[in-house]
Structure 1
Amino acid sequence: MAARSRDRGQVAVEFVGMVPLILLLVAAVWECVLIGYAFSLAGNAADEAARVGAVHGEAACGAAARRHIGDAWAVQVSCGSAGDIYKATVSLHVPVLFPGLDIGVPITGEGGSSQEKEGE
């Protein structure tokens, strides 16, 4: 019985010691999810912007890219023709724990679409 009384509270002490490590692991996994989401978001926005820009021009291209990305993300869009292909490049910054707080590392998505004329 004496050995048993010395071990009382041991699980609580171990749990308190592990909580910071568990929280750090959760934060690291969440950051990886945000980075993956940023890659997906940038690529999709660039594809959509290139499709719209191929028909309607550069102003519509930038608006289409921003429409597919939330206001919390810092976004830079560049659009233009390259021969018969209309290209769009969307750049987002890697967020730290939530969009809006970034470290300045860009994630770039590129999209292209064949040139079209409205009405064809």
Structure 2
Amino acid sequence: MNLLRTARLQTGPHSPGTEIPEPAATGRPRGDRGQTAIEFVGTLPLILITLAIMWQAALVGYTYMLAGNAADKAARAAAVANVSQRVACEQAVHEDVPSAWDTTVEKCGSRFSELVRVRVKIDVPLLFPGAFNLPMRATGEAKAKNETGGWLW
């Protein structure tokens, strides 16, 4: 297929005696029709996979943020609790963390120590909370001064 046709000889001060290529009659080659659509279809899976990885990274970060915040709230609730510190910890965690996340309160301090120590673990969801979880857990730890007067003087 002849994409370029040679035109007449151009005579003038800038290029005497040279031939100028002339575009084909339609102005564009015929063999590239639909090329943009094919390239888009080819790169679409790569774009979607990249978006899913970015979403998952944001979800992991958000889960760690939830774990830390839940541990802070649980430590505060246990520090001022007049009843069982364990019950106060678990109640504060379940009020703070959305129900789609699986939570575990591993440690909630003792009544007769100066500090209340809390450790909360939350399962990291895969793409959407409530469906499947990754085999990793976000851990949040917090301490608060025990304000229940549990010291034995």
TM-score (norm 1): 0.91
Q: What is the one-letter code of the residue matched to 1:108? A: T
Question: Which moved further from structure 2: 43-52 or 58-67?
Answer: 58-67
- Provide the rounded CA distance (Å) in 2 between the counterparts of 1:98 and 1:83: 40
* Deviations 1:9-66 (CA, angstroms, capped at 9, x unpaired): 1000000000000000000000000000001000000000000001112211110011
Deviates more, 1:109-118 or 1:21-30: 109-118
Which position in structure 1 is the counterpart of 2:133?
102
- Indicate which of 11, 17, 39 corresponds to 2:36: 11
Q: How many residues are treated as equivalent by the alignment?
A: 118
Unaligned runs of 5+ in 2: 1-25
Identity of aligned residues (%): 42
Match of 1:68 in 2: 96
User: Moved runs in structure 1, 4+ residues, more than 2 A?
Assistant: none
Two-structure CA RMSD over aligned residues (Å): 1.6
SS in 2 for 1:98: coil
Does residue 60 of structure 2 align to residue 29 of structure 1? no
Higher relative contact order (CA 8 A, sep 6+): 1
Instruction: Write out per-residue CA displacement over residues 63-112 of structure 1, whole angstroms, 9 at most, x where no aligned residue.
Output: 00111001110100131238311011110111110112102311100011
Name the CA distance, whole Å, in 1 between partners of 2:121 and 2:75.
14
1:84 maps to which residue? 114
Partner Cα distance (1:58, 1:33) in 2: 31
Q: Distance in 2 between matches of 1:104 and 1:55?
A: 34
Task: Flag structure 1 segments of 5+ consecutive residues without an equivalent.
Answer: none
Q: What CA distance in whole angstroms lies between the structure 1 residues aligned with 2:109 and 2:135?
A: 25
Specify the structure having the higher radius of gyration (Cα): 2
What's the counterpart of residue 144 of structure 2? 113
What amino acid sits opposite 1:36 in the alignment?
A: G
Moved more, 34-43 or 75-84: 75-84
Q: Which moved more, 1:81-90 or 1:69-78?
A: 81-90
CA distance in 2, matches of 1:22, 1:9: 20
Higher strand share: 1
Identify the structure with the greater helix proportion.
1
